[in-house]
Structure 1
Amino acid sequence: MAVKRAYYGNEGDKDYFERVFQSANINFLIGSGASLPAIRVLGTIESDLQQLINDEMEEEYFDLAASFLTAVWLPHEYMLNRDNGLPFVPLVITNINATRENYDAFISSLEKILTRRRTGLLPRRINVFTTNYDLFIEDASTRNNNVIFNDGFSKRTNLFGDKEFDASSFNYSVSATGNLYNYKVELPTINLIKLHGSLSWKNLMDKIIYKISDVKPLRFNSQLERKEWVLAHTLILPRKEKFKETLLQNVYYDLLRTYSNELDKEATLLVVFGFSFADEHLETLTKKALRNATLKLLIFAFDEASVNGFMDKFRDYSNVEVIFRPGGNIDFPVMNNIITSYLGGAR
């Protein structure tokens, strides 16, 4: 059965996390809890949208979807310096800056883990899987020049410089060679694999390219305009069959296969934060992968109350550990410090 592991920050804890991270192929699964406080968690938005589809309430569906996407876009308008003529509320700015700092520390933590890895037998690469649509990880990567950041957009698709998404790029390794001596060093790489699409994805002539959409209008002049704005997003959201994109569905299943394949590798670690496993596809794939006896699943529980839910969900698997802090919470800054505790903590 799954195991509960209390974290106290002592030498025993540091030794444990050093052993875990130094000897594994490292993967993270990041959920909406990581983007707090800038973006509230998804909650029941997917089931609510699906219910509106089932009830054939199309107008209400697009109203709710537009409201949800507007909330997700809000911090990005600030980061992109696009206020649309309206000032940002001070609390909103404070929350956005706090979230950006958390992601900066996260990227820095991954850099530390990779650059101080002692073994040369394992790749200097970390896969970050996420169901989040937001661009906080991409934003943080622009402020860290010590790792190769790969979000799948490495292939130029036309002379305008548009970058096409290529899932096969997540298998690449980048090395540096010396000019005078015949040596080769693998450069630390972070793969960002966005399982549910991204605000930066756009379908252009049956290719997914990286493109930030224009600022959302202050108000929609018609229901049709609202509907078109929602459908312009290349995201995995509950949709009627007639609105589903074949291209996006194919990419989605390709990325799910990537997730499964990475977890099937020998000596693999999956670290989960801010993710409840409410996504049935990912829960099923993760449980199938846990048949791999060399896979270790570490779930960081926000509080002690959430531990039991994870313990029950993974009660049949002995290679699952749920990390919690007795008498305290594990938020993003705390998680960053825990995973780098053996390296002196996050910056």
Structure 2
Amino acid sequence: MDKIIKIAVDAGKVTISEDTKSILRNLFSGCRVNFLFGAGFSANLLGTLSNNEVIFEALQKYQAKNEDERKKVTILSAFLYWSFFVRCIAPISSKISTYDSSFDPYKEFGDIVYRIFSERGNPALDRQFSIFTTNYDPIIELIFDHSNCICNDGFEGRIEPRFSTDNYSKTYYRQAIFSNRKAEIPSVNLLKLHGSVTWGQDIFWGGIIYRQYRDKIGCFTNTYSTLFDTTIVSTIDAHFTANRPDEANKQIQSLFASSIFDTLLAKEDDYGKFIQAYKMAFLIVNPTKEKFSDTLLNKNYYELLRIFSNELEKENSLLVVNGFSFRDEHILDLVKRSMVNPSLKILIFVYQATAIGDFQRLFGEVKNNNITYIALDGENLSLNYFNQILSHIHS
């Protein structure tokens, strides 16, 4: 049976029972700890995604009736990609540039987990943990730039850092100056399952290199902003309210029946070139149903998913979930398959207690006691409250 833990909040402070504290401390002290973060983790700075995936899915299956409709499919795809870029990628360059006070709650998270693993006394477990995330932004890298905890993002090198999953097999120690005594330093492996704006393609040697995302995003914005009429972008965004593919299909038909694209048909080739340029510019898995095949076909994505699956299959593994809905089917399937591991524990921090039923339906056919849900009683679980709960683990 699933366990549900409700935590009370009084005047902005969480009140945690001794039983709950004991459960959390035992999990973090006796397990190999992995975090899984989704868009909700970055919501304080970047907001959350809309229903892009549903619209893209319906558009990819749409059967154009004539040449004009085929062109409209290309144009609408371009506008959807641009809308996603403007809302979810472009803000990264301005909102996640250098550290300021808006990052304080995220830094607090980094400081808390550093203390948790610094105090870990189980000699059978190291002081390393992993963060898996589907987010493209560099918030987590910036967190640990300002923390004592070492962050291994898979890159190695100074002048031209290169990415390799082999770099995740490292552990860090500090040796005393006047003795041979060594002590392991707390460290985090950061694995971005859907890629990152910091990833660039090495066109000469192949593979992934680290790049300055602010310049890339700014250049892309300047190059293509004139191609997209802001009024049309706003109209399209307001038009699509569907949460199911069949609803989205009807909304696509009504949009194509209007005159909104009539003046754009002559530039269909430009919009097709934009789509190709966008996919080449950013090494990310886009919010479309294609992401499952994209993930399997791309060696790096496949390797990261393999590492994620392997971590969950290890004995006494803990997966701590925050800001992730499990609507990414390939990740949901990996987690469900891993739940045959009887020692795997999954701790899902739920933003709203009413959403627990949604999670239970997703995991419905899996009957075991792997999952524990944590929700606040009458409040939404913000990053501040998440930090407060974690702080009780080492207090």
TM-score normalized by the length of structure 1: 0.85
1:138 aligned residue (133, 136, 141): 141
Q: Which residue does the alignment assign to 1:223?
A: 271
Q: Which residue does the alignment assign to 1:110?
A: 113
| Matching of residues 123-162 of structure 1 within 5 Å | 123-144=126-147, 146-155=148-157, 161-162=159-160
Q: Conserved in 1, the CA contact under 8 Å of 2:200 and 2:210?
A: yes
Q: Conserved in 2, the CA contact under 8 Å of 1:104 and 1:140?
A: yes
Q: Conserved in 2, the CA contact under 8 Å of 1:62 and 1:230?
A: no
Q: Which residue does the alignment assign to 1:70?
A: 86
CA deviation string 1:52-102 (max 9, x = no partner): 233362221122112212222214224337xxxxxxxxxxxxxx954x223
Q: Which residue does the alignment assign to 1:250?
A: 299
Q: Which residue does the alignment assign to 2:170?
A: 172
Percentage identity across paired residues of the two chains: 31
Which amino acid in structure 2 is aligned with residue 178 of structure 1?
A
CA deviation string 1:246-297 (max 9, x = no partner): 9971111100000011111111100001101001111110011111111100
For 1:30 and 1:245, how far apart are their aligned partners in 2?
A: 20
Q: Conserved in 2, the CA contact under 8 Å of 1:76 and 1:135?
A: no
Runs of 4+ with deviation above 4 angstroms: 238-241, 244-248
1:15 positional shift: 1.9
Q: Which residue does the alignment assign to 1:93?
A: none
RMSD between aligned residues = 2.5
Q: Which residue does the alignment assign to 2:179?
A: 181
**More helix as a share of residues:** 2
For 2:298 and 2:78, how far apart are their aligned partners in 1?
A: 20
Cα distance, 1:33–1:343 mapped onto 2, change above 3 Å:
same
Secondary structure at the residue paired with 2:76? helix
Q: Which residue does the alignment assign to 1:18?
A: 25
Q: Conserved in 1, the CA contact under 8 Å of 2:295 and 2:301?
A: no
| Matching of residues 55-94 of structure 1 within 5 Å | 55=62, 57-72=73-88, 73-80=90-97
Secondary structure at the residue paired with 1:6? strand
Which amino acid in structure 1 is aligned with residue 377 of structure 2?
P
- 5+ long unaligned stretches in structure 2: 9-15, 63-69, 228-269
Q: Conserved in 2, the CA contact under 8 Å of 1:30 and 1:273?
A: yes
> Does 232-241 or 298-307 show the bigger shift?
232-241
For 1:123 and 1:263, how far apart are their aligned partners in 2?
A: 16
For 1:155 and 1:265, how far apart are their aligned partners in 2?
A: 30
1:194 positional shift: 0.2
For 1:279 and 1:48, how far apart are their aligned partners in 2?
A: 15
Secondary structure at the residue paired with 2:26? helix
1:171 positional shift: 1.8
1:204 positional shift: 1.2
For 1:298 and 1:278, how far apart are their aligned partners in 2?
A: 17
Q: Which residue does the alignment assign to 2:379?
A: 328
For 1:212 and 1:58, how far apart are their aligned partners in 2?
A: 30
For 2:300 and 2:377, how far apart are their aligned partners in 1?
A: 41
For 1:283 and 1:79, how far apart are their aligned partners in 2?
A: 29
Which amino acid in structure 1 is aligned with residue 183 of structure 2?
V
> Does 115-124 or 45-54 show the bigger shift?
45-54
Q: Which residue does the alignment assign to 2:250?
A: none
Matched, 1:41 2:48: yes
For 1:142 and 1:76, how far apart are their aligned partners in 2?
A: 17
> Does 165-174 or 49-58 show the bigger shift?
49-58
Please identify the structure whose Cα radius of gyration is greater. 2
Which amino acid in structure 1 is aligned with residue 75 of structure 2?
E
- 5+ long unaligned stretches in structure 1: 82-95
Cα distance, 1:270–1:133 mapped onto 2, change above 3 Å:
same
Which amino acid in structure 2 is aligned with residue 330 of structure 1?
L
Which amino acid in structure 2 is aligned with residue 267 of structure 1?
N
Matched, 1:199 2:206: no
For 1:343 and 1:136, how far apart are their aligned partners in 2?
A: 24
Matched, 1:210 2:210: yes
Cα distance, 1:236–1:75 mapped onto 2, change above 3 Å:
closer
CA deviation string 1:18-72 (max 9, x = no partner): 1111111000000101111322222322232233233362221122112212222
Q: Which residue does the alignment assign to 2:331?
A: 282
Which amino acid in structure 2 is aligned with residue 115 of structure 1?
S
TM-score normalized by the length of structure 2: 0.76
